[in-house]
Amino acid sequence: MSGAGRNRPRGGQKSGGHENNGRRDRGASGAGRNGGAAKRTGGVVRGSGGSSNWSDEGRRSGVVSKRSGGEVRGGGAKRPGGGARRGENAARAGGYGRSELREHGGRSQRAEPPVRGEVREDRPAERKSGARRGGAGGSGAAARSGGQPQQLLGMGRIKGEWMDIRLPDGLVGAPLSVVAKYLPLPPKHLSKLMQNRGCLLQGANLRLHLFPREQRDYPSDWMELNILYEDEFTLVVNKPAGIEVHPSEKGQRKTLAHAVAAYYEMTGQDLRVRHVHRIDKDTTGPVLYAKNEFAQYQYDKGMREKTIGRVYLALAEGGIEGNKGRIDKPIGQDRHHSTRRRVSETGDPAVTHYEVVERFTDHTLVRLHLETGRTHQIRVHLSSINHPLAGDGLYGGKRTVISRQALHGERLIWHHPWTGDKQQVTASLPDDFREALDKLRR
């Protein structure tokens, strides 16, 4: 698997066909997620399977790392049982790339961001102060909290399984019921933390047990993966064609879920596999994973409220009329075919927006934005207007230029679970899709 370390310096490429990084040392003194001497400002990643480009929001709290397959350049200090040594150990195990560590003034420095791709976190400049110390968060988090008059607390330091927040002077001595109003935690999750002694308040210090060790829920199947993005809350994997996101029948193996479980195992992360959305077996592009219960709640909410955006590129047969359009047709299951879907008046509402990117003699390249996320939505909608996807035999497409449906997830947009800042990754076109376009251009 490709990618930078989880907010820690790691070497970064393939091991036995599985691109990974060094292991994490949880709970050890000074060696947790952001404990002691370790500074989690990790990195700039350069690679071919996808790309990301990002700013300082996560780095100020010590938890953001971007990955896209290739050389990893990150900052970080040595720490007991991990730190800089992890990348070296992983490299011995599987030929990973090297991590270049740079220290300046006690804080990790990073190289220039990659030219291609884009993970962007735009925020007001004043938010840079106080995030590591639990200062008030910015307008993004406050807006997401439902219009509360106060700003939410910024992220604290992550140490092992805990987040430590230093309260601002105005909240020191306040009861937990008051402090809770300044946290992005849903009441149900906060109540669960309190019942399990996972929320500790003492003076100006608040500790939250947000990153507990968990029993992995899928067996590991090692395969090559391209990690587009990762931090303590989030994992984004660029799914290749021919692999399902999760098992569709009992006992099925070799799915993306099994590969992610293997990645977690190799990198020392005791986590469940929590996919937030799915894409079809032969569709390529980013898949979003939540790495803890809090992130899963926020991302599930984002799916319900349609704040998680997905942008696709598709090669449709024929010449689509007009440069832009909207397909609003409900989708239901085909009673005569167990795996097919069809436009049905009794189906679930489904809306797809499209715009033409490039025209060919007998095909049209379009970019699509999903307003809903029904099974096979793009494939059904384009087929319903007599422009099926090239290569999509299930819905009437021909396999003259590509052997699978020509559908690729180009971009994934989401909001950071804690800060609410907008983030996005872009995934490069896979080789077979690119070759199909080159063939049509010739």
DSSP secondary structure of 387-432: -PBTT-GGGT---SS-SS--EEEEEEEEE-TTT--EEEEE-PPPHH
Contact yes or no for 12/45 (Cβ under 8 A) = yes
Contact yes or no for 224/49 (Cβ under 8 A) = no
Burial classification of residue 38, based on how many CB atoms lie within 10 Å of its CB (0-12 exposed, 13-18 middle, 19 or more buried): buried
Tokens of 88: 């070296």
**25, 231, 280, 282: which one is catalytic?**
280
**Coil, strand, or helix at residue 267?**
coil
Please choose, from the candidates 6, 11, 4, 7, the residue with its C-alpha nearest in 3D space to the C-alpha of residue 88: 11
Q: Among all chains, which residue has been given the structure tokens 């983030």? A: 423
Please choose, from the candidates 213, 211, 151, the residue with its C-alpha nearest in 3D space to the C-alpha of residue 182: 151
**Residue 280 a catalytic site member:** yes
Residue 234's Cβ-side half-sphere holds a number of Cα atoms within 13 Å equal to 27
Please choose, from the candidates 18, 46, 21, 23, the residue with its C-alpha nearest in 3D space to the C-alpha of residue 33: 23
Beta-strand runs (E) in 182-265 = 199-202, 205-208, 226-231, 234-239
**Coil, strand, or helix at residue 162?**
strand
Neighbours of 400 (CB within 10 A): 13
Q: Are strands 72-73 and 99-100 parallel, antiparallel or unpaired?
A: parallel
Maximal C-alpha separation, the chain? 71
Consecutive H or E run containing 90 = helix 84-94
Phi-psi domain of 268 (left: phi exceeds 0; alpha: psi -120 through 50; beta: other) = left
Distance, in Å, from the CA atom of 84 to the CA atom of 403, rounded to the nearest integer, reads 44
Tokens of 209: 């047990």
Phi-psi domain of 16 (left: phi exceeds 0; alpha: psi -120 through 50; beta: other) = left
Q: Are strands 162-166 and 99-100 parallel, antiparallel or unpaired?
A: unpaired
Catalytic residues: 280
